[in-house]
Structure 1
């Protein structure tokens, strides 16, 4: 099973898949454990911080708890940890990298769309300002494609977050949760 998953990661080649493959190989005893510090961080929240507007967002991660804090929460006023706000041993700055990678996700998704008419409408939608909104508006009426795109985008965002963490010397500590609406088992990784 691990070999199949490893092969799928290598074939897919998303950013961050290398980090997953390294951890899988280490877990099966086929490679050394990567020298990255584990951090219990929500990859989805981290991805949102990373893909924010460079002029307005970004944030930081509390290295003691893994909590992701958007930059705007720092502007709300002093909180209980004010004295420790600048401690580089506690906080990891998360730069806002912008939406370029998200735009690329839309382009790559369009290449996989089998319905030629839908693909054409999506290509037109991503031209110019407002591309993200128009893209979502076109997909919104195609429920199956909408779900596929969201899974695709989420995987790519989490991969970019994993890769960024590895560049900073960390790996996400896998935390499992059960989605209240699904009640599925096993629960999915965060």
Structure 2
């Protein structure tokens, strides 16, 4: 697991802007995470390989409902009632992610807390994804998550 850049994997898991033919993939042999698209496919075809030949694993983004639950969990832990209420109202509207971030910027003292909270959850999801994809054993994933939780 040391060869895999968790931050890059988190970026891939959060990317909801790509179409079906353009996606991130993981080379389980090297740990490299790369973007696969038309241009990459053309280059790979010219070189005589494709993602499947390398045992590549497609990285689909996490379901947006998980991000929504992250916001709900964060809001529940906000101590300041005005901030908590405004953030809750933001996610109850259409485009909850945009409205949440807009409201969050009204409370700069909570911005860092949100990003640290969200990043920690996404790293845990990334590690679980690696285990589910068979890249790491469950015991290794559990140990890595425990280390994340206990590291400063």
Please tell me the TM-score bracket, short chain as reference: 0.7 to 0.9
1:88 is displaced (CA, Å) by 4.6
Question: In the TM superposition, what is the alpha-carbon distance from 1:133 to its structure 2 partner?
Answer: 1.1
For structure 1, which segment, 111-120 or 98-107, has the greater mean C-alpha deviation from structure 2 after superposition? 98-107
**Structure 1 contact 54–95 (Cα < 8 Å) conserved:** no
- Contact 1:61 1:92 survives alignment (8 Å): yes
Shift of 1:144: 2.2
Does the 8 A contact of 1:111 with 1:119 survive in 2?
yes
Report the alpha carbon displacement of residue 167 of structure 1 after superposing the two structures with TM. Answer: 1.3
1:79 matched to 2:79? The reply is: no
Aligned residues: 135
Other-structure match for 1:48: 11
Q: Is 2:94 aligned against 1:129? A: yes
Q: Which residue of 2 aligns with 1:139?
A: 104
Contact conserved, 1:50 with 1:95, CA < 8 A, in 2?
yes
Cα–Cα, structure 1 residues 155 and 129, in superposed 2: closer, same or farther, change >3 Å? same
Q: Output the CA distance in 2 between the equivalents of 1:128 and 1:76.
A: 38
Query: Is 2:69 the partner of 1:104?
Result: yes
Structure 2 residues without counterparts, runs of 5 or longer: 141-150
Structure 1 gap segments, 5+ residues each: 1-37, 174-188
**Measured at CA, do residues 50 and 119 of structure 1 come closer, stay the same or move farther in structure 2, by a change above 3 Å?**
same
Higher helix share: 2
CA distance in 2, matches of 1:124, 1:130: 12
Between the aligned partners of 2:17 and 2:106, the Cα distance in structure 1 is 31
Rate the CA distance shift 1:88–1:111 in 2: closer, same or farther, 3 A.
farther
Q: Is the 2:93–2:99 Cα contact (8 Å) retained in structure 1?
A: no
Give the aligned CA root-mean-square deviation in angstroms: 2.7
Q: Check if 1:94 corresponds to 2:51.
A: no
**In 2, distance between residues paired with 1:142 and 1:54?**
28
1:155 equivalenced with 2:129 (yes/no): no
How far apart are the structure 1 equivalents of 2:31 and 2:73? 31
The runs of at least 4 aligned residues of structure 1 exceeding 4 Å deviation read: none
